[in-house]
Structure 1
Amino acid sequence: MSSYRINALTTWAAQQNGLSKADISLSSAVGDASFRRYFRLTLPDGSTQVLMDAPPEQEDSQPFVSIAKRWHSAGLPVPQVHAANLAEGFLLLDDLGNTPLQDLFTDDATTQAYHSQALLLIAKLQNRANSALLPAYDTALLARELDLFPQWCLSTWLAIPPPESWQAVREQLIQHALAQPVVSVHRDFDAMNLMVHQQRLYMIDFQDAVAGPLSYDLISLLRGRYCRFTGEQFASFVDEFYHQARRDGRLSSSVDSALFLTQCHAMAAQRSLKVLGIFCRLTLRDQKSGYLERLPHFLDHLEDSLLALPEQAAFAHWVNTTLRPAIIQRLAEAH
Structure 2
Amino acid sequence: MPAIIKQFFYKSHEMTLSDSRFISLNQWLNRYFSYDVTPILISGDASFRRYFRVTSRDTSYIVADSPPTLVPIAPFIALASAYAAAGLTVPKVIASDAEQGFMLLSDLGDTQLLSVLTDANVADYYRRALALLPQVASVVESLDPVTGSTQPLPLYDEAFVRRELGIFTEWLLERHLQLELSDKERSLIAESFDLLVENALAQPKVGMHRDYHSRNLMLKNNELCVIDFQDAVLGPVTYDAVSLLRDCYVRWPQTMVQELMQQHYQQVLELGQIPAQTSFTQYQTWFDLMGLQRHIKAAGIFARLHYRDNKPAYMADIPLTLSYIVDIAGFYPELAQFSAWVQSRVVPAFATKGKNSQQGDKQ
Is the deviation greater in 92-101 or in 150-159?
Answer: 150-159
Per the alignment, in what secondary structure is the counterpart of residue 20 of structure 1?
coil
Secondary structure at the aligned position of 1:272 is classed as helix
Give 1:100 shift: 0.7
Do structure 1's residue 110 and structure 2's residue 129 form an aligned pair?
Answer: no
- Cα distance in 2 between the residues matched to 1:186 and 1:323: 30
The normalised TM-score by structure 2 is 0.87
Q: What residue is the counterpart of 2:133 in the other structure?
A: 122
> Deviation string for 1:249-301 (max 9, x for gaps)?
21221211111001111001101110111111111122212122211111111
1:49 aligned to which of 61, 70, 73: 61
Residue matched to 1:146: 165
Corresponding pairs, count: 329
> What runs of 5+ residues in structure 2 fail to find an aligned partner?
1-14, 142-150, 359-363
| Aligned equivalent of 2:153, options 134, 147, 169 | 134
- Equivalent residue for 1:181, pick from 204, 225, 229: 204
Q: Distance in 2 between matches of 1:143 and 1:56?
A: 26
CA distance in structure 2 between the partners assigned to 1:114 and 1:230 by the alignment:
15
Instruction: Give the aligned partner of residue 111 of structure 2.
Output: 99
Residue of structure 2 in register with 1:317 after alignment: 340
The match for 1:12 among 15, 22, 28 is: 28
Match of 1:271 among 270, 286, 294: 294
Matched position secondary structure for 2:132: helix
Note if contact 2:327-2:339 (Cα within 8 Å) is conserved in structure 1: no
Query: Aligned with 2:67: secondary structure?
Result: coil
Q: Percent identity?
A: 35
Question: What is the CA–CA distance in structure 1 between the aligned matches of 2:174 and 2:353, rounded to whole Å?
Answer: 13
C-alpha distance after superposition, 1:203-241 (max 9, x if no partner): 111111110001111111112133213333222221110
Aligned with 1:15: secondary structure? coil
Aligned to 1:58: 70
Conserved 8 A contact 1:177-1:213:
yes
**Whole-angstrom distance in 1 between the partners of 2:177 and 2:194:** 23
Q: RMSD value over aligned CA atoms?
A: 1.5
1:245 aligned residue: 268
How far apart are 1:146 and its partner, in Å?
Answer: 0.4
TM-score (norm 1): 0.94
Contact 1:292 1:331 in 2 (8 A): no
Whichever residue aligns with residue 130 of structure 1, its letter is: V
Partner of 1:328: 351
Does the aligned pair in 1 maintain the 2:50–2:65 contact within 8 Å? yes
Say whether the 8 Å CA contact 1:68–1:81 is kept in structure 2: yes
Work out whether residues 163 and 315 of structure 1, in 8 Å CA contact, stay in contact via their aligned partners in 2: no
Query: Which of the two has greater helix per residue?
Result: 1
Could you tell me which amino acid in structure 1 is paired with residue 140 of structure 2? N
Q: How far apart are the structure 1 equivalents of 2:287 and 2:321?
A: 16
Equivalence map 1:226-265=2 (5 Å)? 226-265=249-288
Aligned twin of 1:72: 84
2:175: which partner in 1?
A: 156
1:83 matched to 2:95? The reply is: yes
Report the CA distance between 1:163 and its aligned residue.
4.5
| Distance (Å, rounded) in 2 between the aligned partners of 1:140 and 1:226 | 26
